[in-house]
């Protein structure tokens, strides 16, 4: 499980990206790269990293479900994810 500070930092980045999205788009369209440089570093969407919503695990993230592969497997086997069944042939 990720440290609480790491999870909080990622949430803070998401808020900054959302806050500056319109301004960033305007500056990009105008070609004002000096203006872009003056925005906070963490307001760039490139700096975001997908993390599991429940544990904060950064690797093995499944975008469709928003959780890591480890939790996905546990929840699928427990029947907590609708429409997902274990394959057998």
Model pTM?
Answer: 0.77
- If pLDDT is split at 50, 70 and 90, which confidence band does 88 have? confident
pLDDT in tens, 13-30: 999 999 999 999 999 999
**Can you give the pLDDT at residue 87?**
85
| Domains, in order of start, for the chain | 1-48 (no CATH), 49-82 (4.10.830.10)
- Token look-up 């499980």 returns 1
- Pairwise CA distance, residues 6 & 22, whole Å: 26
């Amino acid at each position: 499980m990720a440290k609480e500070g790491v999870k909080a930092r990622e949430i803070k980045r998401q808020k900054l990206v959302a806050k500056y999205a319109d301004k960033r788009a305007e500056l990009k369209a105008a070609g004002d790269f000096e203006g872009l440089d003056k925005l906070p570093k963490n307001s760039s969407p490139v700096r975001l990293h997908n993390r599991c919503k429940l544990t904060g695990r950064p690797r093995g993230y499944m975008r469709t479900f928003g959780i890591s592969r480890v939790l996905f497997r546990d929840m699928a086997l427990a029947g907590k994810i609708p429409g997902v069944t274990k394959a057998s042939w």
